[in-house]
A and B are shown apart, each in its own frame.
Chain A
Amino acid sequence: MEQNTREELPRRKFFRLIADWFLKLILFFTAGGGIVMALSFLYPPKKLMRRLTGWVPTVDKSSLQLGDAAQILFNGIPYFVLRVSNEEYRSFSAVCSHAACIVFWEKENMRFACPCHESKFSIAGEPVGGPAQDPLTRMALKIDDTGKIFIKLV
């Protein structure tokens, strides 16, 4: 039995076996790496996964006329920044308090309206019509020296 071992696995065959498995390993890791990279490519990038909190810049004070509302998206949720008088600005979440649709700004009526169930909200965010019972979420707002409006995300 001991003597035959040499016969069963000659050197040439042995190296061939090693080379064979080496190539198989390379192939396996290349294919595996490729699949991992492709899946990683399809996964949303870090930039999108980051959740913003605290004070975030929105628009310039001067870009809003009286009665204008700017809609800005943070973390996938839209917010309104609204100029209600010459010096007063307000910010609301655009998510309706009734069924979480996105409300829009009706400049001619100076109110928010919801496209889903016709809820209406005043410029103070209070429900004034339709099925909604609760006000829109009001966001804390500040204006810095350069006239940039910031809102506070929680």
Chain B
Amino acid sequence: MSDRDSAVRLGAMVKVVDWFDDRVNFKDAILFMMEKPFSKHATDVQYCFGGISLLLLFNQVITGLLLSVYYVPTPEHAYLSIQYITFDVNFGWLIRALHIWGGDLMMLSVLIHLCIAYFKGYYRKPLELNWISGFTLFLVCLGFGFSGYLLPWTQLSYWATTIVTDMVTAIPYVGDGLLLFLRGGKTVDQATLIRFYSFHTQVFPSITLVILFFHLWMIKRRGICVPL
């Protein structure tokens, strides 16, 4: 059975699919994508890390959406709500652990993906824009990690955020202003927590969605970069 057959044979769903296809006209596009030949290099291990990062990103989105149901971004309730998720909510410990470990592993796989692209020279023409968008995604990824670290509102996350936000004062001229922008005040407090929460759950995901779409669309458009 070829891929083409399995795409067309959707059993009882065929009528529903046909109804939509009459209107949206997507079948040709799907068949085109299924028949599009892969590069013979695509099965190489070095090309897996982009896909692994994407898979881990899906994990982060799903577990993150679930956690946002119970998490409360205020200094009084942040830590309590984390305790509530971990000890009282059904499978809360699992969802939270998946989010934490998924984040760490995603950072690792993104870093490997980036290193391979860098050392093997996959940023060369015509995929320079993939390198640029990919590196921007990496920076957003660091932002995700940094903003997410404050949210449990523990001593560790509090002081880590104090120290790391303090680092930007080393930047000449704009450093002090940037510190106020990051903290939303002079010290790490309520304003910082809600700000980081907003960045972690609204701003960064929106940026990721746009840039990631471009990043993947370019791969479909120009194909992967093969080894030299």
The residue in chain B whose Cβ has the minimal distance to the Cβ of A43 is B90
Q: Does A18 contact B (CB under 8 A)?
A: no
Q: For A41, what are the chain B residues with a Cβ–Cβ distance below 8 Å?
A: 66, 69, 89-92, 95
In whole angstroms, what is the CA distance A14 to B165 when docked?
60
What is the CB-to-nearest-CB distance from B225 to chain A, in angstroms, rounded to a whole number?
Answer: 30
| Neighbour of A45 across the interface among B62, B88, B95, CB < 8 A | B88
Q: Does B203 contact A (CB under 8 A)?
A: no
The residue in chain A whose Cβ has the minimal distance to the Cβ of B59 is A34
In whole angstroms, what is the CA distance A47 to B69 when docked?
17
**Complex contact A40–B91 (CB within 8 A):** yes
* B 45-83 to A, binary, CB cutoff 8 A, 1 in contact else 0: 000000000000000001000100100000000000000
Task: List A10-47 residues whose CB lies under 8 Å from chain B.
Answer: 37-38, 40-43, 45-47
What is the CB-to-nearest-CB distance from B146 to chain A, in angstroms, rounded to a whole number?
Answer: 26
In whole angstroms, what is the CA distance A41 to B93 when docked?
10
The number of chain A residues touching the other chain, given as a range, is 10 to 19
In whole angstroms, what is the CA distance A46 to B87 when docked?
11
Residues of A within 8 A of B (CB): 37-38, 40-43, 45-48
10 new A-B contacts, CB < 8 A, other than A45-B88, A46-B90, are A37-B90, A38-B66, A40-B90, A40-B91, A41-B89, A41-B91, A41-B92, A41-B95, A45-B92, A47-B88
What is the CB-to-nearest-CB distance from B83 to chain A, in angstroms, rounded to a whole number?
Answer: 12
Sample (27) of A-B pairs whose CB atoms are under 8 Å apart? A37-B90, A37-B91, A37-B94, A37-B95, A38-B62, A38-B66, A38-B95, A40-B90, A40-B91, A41-B66, A41-B69, A41-B89, A41-B90, A41-B91, A41-B92, A41-B95, A42-B66, A42-B69, A43-B90, A45-B88, A45-B89, A45-B90, A45-B92, A46-B88, A46-B90, A47-B88, A48-B88
Q: For B66, what are the chain A residues with a Cβ–Cβ distance below 8 Å?
A: 38, 41-42
Q: For A38, what are the chain B residues with a Cβ–Cβ distance below 8 Å?
A: 62, 66, 95
The number of chain B residues touching the other chain, given as a range, is 10 to 19
The residue in chain A whose Cβ has the minimal distance to the Cβ of B66 is A41
Q: For A42, what are the chain B residues with a Cβ–Cβ distance below 8 Å?
A: 66, 69
Task: List B82-123 residues whose CB lies under 8 Å from chain A.
Answer: 88-92, 94-95
What is the CB-to-nearest-CB distance from B47 to chain A, in angstroms, rounded to a whole number?
Answer: 21
What is the CB-to-nearest-CB distance from B25 to chain A, in angstroms, rounded to a whole number?
Answer: 29
Q: For A45, what are the chain B residues with a Cβ–Cβ distance below 8 Å?
A: 88-90, 92
* B 5-37 to A, binary, CB cutoff 8 A, 1 in contact else 0: 000000000000000000000000000000000
In this complex, the member of B66, B69, B91 whose beta carbon has the largest number of chain A beta carbons within 10 angstroms is: B91
Q: For B88, what are the chain A residues with a Cβ–Cβ distance below 8 Å?
A: 45-48
What is the CB-to-nearest-CB distance from B50 to chain A, in angstroms, rounded to a whole number?
Answer: 21
What is the CB-to-nearest-CB distance from B57 to chain A, in angstroms, rounded to a whole number?
Answer: 16
Q: For A46, what are the chain B residues with a Cβ–Cβ distance below 8 Å?
A: 88, 90
In whole angstroms, what is the CA distance A10 to B7 when docked?
26
Task: List B162-220 residues whose CB lies under 8 Å from chain A.
Answer: none
Q: For B90, what are the chain A residues with a Cβ–Cβ distance below 8 Å?
A: 37, 40-41, 43, 45-46
What is the CB-to-nearest-CB distance from A101 to chain B, in angstroms, rounded to a whole number?
Answer: 26
Q: For B91, what are the chain A residues with a Cβ–Cβ distance below 8 Å?
A: 37, 40-41
In whole angstroms, what is the CA distance A41 to B91 when docked?
6
Q: For A40, what are the chain B residues with a Cβ–Cβ distance below 8 Å?
A: 90-91
What is the CB-to-nearest-CB distance from B64 to chain A, in angstroms, rounded to a whole number?
Answer: 12
The residue in chain A whose Cβ has the minimal distance to the Cβ of B62 is A38
